[in-house]
Structure 1
């Protein structure tokens, strides 16, 4: 900013309202505490992995915090040329009409449109990549398609933030002016006392879920989409053929009907449940014996990390950012090929007899809101103020 006395006006941009609600409320608070006027641009009408009611509540909550909200008609995925052009014009209008001095963009499409808008309006931009769509060991076609796109747009990126170490390594190949690594977007890190209290209620919680003492509960948390790959776990449970194994999936998404059809066709209705959106996941974490996070691509996997913070053992994908916190066998198991159902079967069967819990959570404290907020505050102060 040329005039340091001028109050910064920062636009936080994301494709869906769920990305604001889940990943950016702390960022909004940080910016306001530093003295910025904060604006949020996202699709509140098609809010992603939260319900429409939750999106409306979010608008009200933001307005109460004196955050200005703007409907941007982002599409999911890569969008269409026509709709992307509409979204670009909407973002540019917000920037010009409200004299926006800085943008913090999230999500691949939000990052692309945000950077196009920043370039057109000569506005400084930070882009947080929540997991590149290309990664070491990933499909060659993803490198051929998505890496050139990111390389191109990186020239219009003042600051690039990555949330896992593998992505940070890739930034050396890009043209962004400055690159930062921060360990995730922050999680609520419960105290030892909170975790002990949670497990002290475990039997009561499990009864609410209609679980018997011998039942082995596996959970997955995340949007019901192809990338989250819940179907591979359902197939593994069918192969194990143990009626004591229960599998609960928490989340909304376009794959719901397809997954329910699969459950019905495999006659797993008594074992596998689609729980829908759950606002408070704590009870589910404390009721569970294992968290399986089978995403094909994942920046970090907050649904997995939240469970680990509460002592829940995990199975994750070795090719994703999950390896930043599944650092040894006391925390979980990393699968080499997440599409190999036999690997998942073997991992689950190796865990069932012992029902391990994570005792030492010190290694993941760096992912806490307290630490991440401290790092983000420094970045904001340096780049926007």
Structure 2
């Protein structure tokens, strides 16, 4: 088959999709890609023999560039005669399904990395994203969801020919559970004492990731030995720095910005905090599990697929500062509980590992797409 993978921006393909593409190429398929080149394309994509088409997608659905990208996509589908388009991310996926409507011979697969409508989501999300996704589902041969809440909703409400659940895009668990690091040197590099208790968060500094809740939770404990390390950059950086100063915990908080050594930093941390308001799944938390860290998380959306209160760590409402504070205190005071939960996570995360995900994806392709092709 001649296959086109489409995402809104190149970052998604670079970060998640190369193993999927490699699997298809090894089966004898040709795979090309189309996206907005926001980040330099990983050289492995070209080494695999893939053609890359640049389309001017923008993350904002209302940006006029998306219409330009849609028109170019339509021409691309016609000229290249693709048999299958596998699309990821909401904007690109809306354009793909609209562009493919008249190409009856082209099969369309859509991986939803987390619907914007879920239990507890704002009403406006249901009035916009839900209605659009439901309408577009009729132009989709296969919808793949990566969490169980989305799967059940799609199964009961959408009109796609087939709907499947796959536990994420696959993480390389070996990368995290086999890393070695000189803890003393790493702590000195970051500026943290050797005997500190370290809470780690990884993710963009935005409203959804909700780092402020952890800052407030730490403040309640009045324990100068607790340090909060945050890896990521984003629009709320100045706000979080100001809040840290206002709360009087600036000596205990390290905003490290973008890092390429997350596996090593996981290795020196004691627990992982993931208080997001919404997550399709949450790759950063799964990576922390693969590092053997206990979790403290919010209890929403895809997070509940792996974060089990009292087993993998502790869960709270995303706004429950008191709940997060108590969870941190418990783990600080009970190192044996940290150890037990960390061991549990090393086992639990295997379901989300790359080998398992690729096995399921291969089966889904074969049963839902290729056997009809």
Q: Fold match, TM over 0.5?
A: yes
Cα displacement string for residues 110-152 of structure 1 (whole angstroms, at most 9, x for unaligned residues): 2211211221433211001111111123333322332111111
Residues 218-270 of structure 1: CA deviation (Å, up to 9, x unaligned): 11111222211122222323333322221121123333333334334444432
Instruction: Name the SS for the 1:359 alignment partner.
Output: helix
Find the partner of 1:144 among 118, 122, 127. 127
8 A contact 1:11–1:103 mirrored in 2: yes
- What are the within-5 Å matches in structure 2 for residues 166-181 of structure 1? 166-171=149-154, 172-181=156-165
What residue is the counterpart of 1:51 in the other structure? none
- SS of the aligned residue for 1:292 comes to strand
Partner residue, 1:35: 28
Distance 1:234 1:133, change over 3 A: same
Partner of residue 160, structure 1: 143
Pair 157,35 (structure 1): closer, same or farther in 2 beyond 3 Å: same
Stretches of structure 2 lacking an aligned partner (at least 5 in a row): none
* Secondary structure of the corresponding residue to residue 183 of structure 1: coil
Distance change (3 Å), C-alpha of 1:350 and 1:78:
farther
Shift of 1:176: 0.9
Of 208, 219, 226, the residue aligned with 1:238 is 219
Q: List aligned pairs for 1:265-304, cutoff 5 A.
A: 265-304=246-285
Indicate the larger mover: 149-158 or 213-222. Answer: 213-222
**1:345 alignment counterpart:** 325
The 8 Å contact of residues 87 and 109 in structure 2, kept in 1 or not, is answered as: yes
1:213 matched to 2:198? The reply is no
Does residue 1:378 correspond to 2:360, yes or no? no
Could you tell me how far apart the structure 1 residues matched to 2:215 and 2:62 are?
Answer: 30
Structure 1 position 95 matched with structure 2 position 77: yes
**Whole-angstrom CA distance in 1 between matches of 2:244 and 2:30:** 48
Distance (whole Å) between structure 2 residues aligned to residue 151 and residue 175 of structure 1: 7
Distance 1:121 1:259 in 2: 49
The separation in 2 between residues aligned to 1:89 and 1:258, in whole angstroms, is: 40
**Other-structure match for 2:57:** 74
User: Could you say what secondary structure the match of 2:108 adopts?
Assistant: strand
Change beyond 3 A, Cα 1:60–1:167: same
For the Cα contact (< 8 Å) 2:179–2:263, is it kept in 1?
A: no
For 1:203 and 1:22, the matched residues in 2 are separated by 30
TM-score of the superposition, structure 1-length normalised? 0.88
Out of 222-231 and 20-29, give the one that drifted further.
Answer: 222-231
Q: TM-score, normalised by structure 2?
A: 0.90
Equivalences, count: 363
Task: Pick the aligned partner of 2:293 from 305, 312, 318.
Answer: 312
Specify every segment of 5 or more residues in structure 1 that has no aligned partner in the other structure, as ranges.
Answer: 1-7, 46-54
The reply to whether residue 44 of structure 1 matches residue 25 of structure 2 is no
Q: Could you tell me which residue of structure 1 aligns to residue 171 of structure 2?
A: 187
Q: What secondary structure sits across from 1:35 in the alignment?
A: coil
The answer on 1:354 being equivalent to 2:334 is: yes
- For the pair 1:17 / 2:4, whether they are aligned, the reply is no
